[in-house]
Structure 1
Amino acid sequence: MSEVELFPGHVSRLGLGTIPREDLAGQPGLALLQKLIAGEYPAPPIAGTLSFTLTAVEPGRSVFRGLPNESHLNPLGGVHGGWTATIMDSALACAVHTTLEAGEAYTTAEFKVNFLRPITPRTGEVVCEGRVVHRGRTLAVSEATLKDQAGKLLAFGTETCSIFPAASLAGR
């Protein structure tokens, strides 16, 4: 695997890829994400495509940084809402991921984003922070904010994730 620059100042030494399946079943979610940030796993392919990356985690919290650019534009010249939705979904879901025990997995069941301000390539680097609001046995709810470098709120979102045994993942 070769080194990949996700966006200026953020490099994945191991390139792009996924966490090995055996690690998903054998380690808690927080430990997996900490290893991802430490560069012990490659960055997810979506990070290279959309120029964002996970930069911090703690129990019930995740932080992503991203840099929207011209390749993310819609026909009117603004950053496509799908870019915003994807970084939001990533922060919302990874906040839940930090709460998983070894052998647990999750998937997004419901997701909502409020777009509050337009985003353009001139917006610069953005920060998306997700926090778990509730963690039950089979469902978790999280909320996230997306802010620019001045701290202006660009988007707000919520998500519900289903939690289930990792052995139930497709292809296992």
Structure 2
Amino acid sequence: MSEWRERLEQARRSGEFGTIPMADVSRFTGLDLMRRIIDGTYPPPSIGGALNFALTEAEEGRVVFTGWPTEAHLNPMGTVHGGWAATIMDSALACAVHTTCAAGEASTTVEFKVNLVRPVLPGMGELACEGRVVHRGRNLAVSEATLKGPDGRTLAFGTETCSILRMPG
């Protein structure tokens, strides 16, 4: 089992999911915060536990989330619900932007669009969703992401606009 899946399983057993402390948003850059999630300084976010995905790579302007959809994520037609793909993509799109935030800055999604081009099926194995920043301005940033199967084929792609926020204090 991969390291990220082991960490999620441990968090499920212990009930230790969490969020980034707001005081740390003022102290660390967005990239530092993302790396602290990856290295286990912060517990994994609960959304990753519910949908079985985790942040696995982060550098400035780029992140990768790795996910493992299961039967728990099926729609009535027997494929993984499009909301699963949209959520892992929103996570990659937004976190890619967040890696460009200075200490005291945060970002939030304003809008996003996802194109589902192939079905996501349970049992496909680990899927990788890479998010990249294509524009970073003072107040807005735009990112793009691609969700790929274990064979490297594109399953979905999308874009997102985020607002850049300055934290008080």
Structure 2 length-normalised TM = 0.92
1:122 positional shift: 2.5
Q: CA RMSD in A?
A: 1.9
Select which of 6, 10, 14 maps to 2:6. 10
Q: Which runs of 5+ in 2 are unaligned?
A: none
Residue aligned with 1:122, SS: coil
1:75 positional shift: 0.9
The structure in which a higher percent of residues are helix is 2
- Structure 1 residues 166 and 10, CA, compared in 2 at 3 Å: closer, same or farther? farther
The CA distance in 2 between the partners of 1:88 and 1:131, in whole Å, is 11
1:164 positional shift: 1.2
Q: Which runs of 5+ in 1 are unaligned?
A: none
Runs of 4+ in 1 over 3 A off after TM superposition: 5-10
1:7 positional shift: 9.1
1:106 positional shift: 1.1
Query: Number of residues paired by the alignment?
Result: 164
- Structure 1 vs Structure 2: percent identity of aligned residues? 60
Residue aligned with 2:143, SS: strand
- Structure 1 residues 69 and 7, CA, compared in 2 at 3 Å: closer, same or farther? farther
1:120 positional shift: 1.0
The amino acid of 2:47's aligned partner reads: I
1:9 positional shift: 3.7
Residue aligned with 1:123, SS: coil
1:8 positional shift: 7.5
The CA distance in 2 between the partners of 1:8 and 1:140, in whole Å, is 28
The answer to whether the 8 Å contact 1:6/1:52 transfers is no
- Structure 1 residues 6 and 107, CA, compared in 2 at 3 Å: closer, same or farther? farther
The CA distance in 2 between the partners of 1:125 and 1:31, in whole Å, is 25
Structure 1 length-normalised TM = 0.90
Aligned to 1:122: 123
Aligned to 2:152: 151
Task: Map Cα deviations across residues 16-58 of structure 1 (whole Å, 9 max, x no partner).
Answer: 1011111012111000111110110000010100000000000
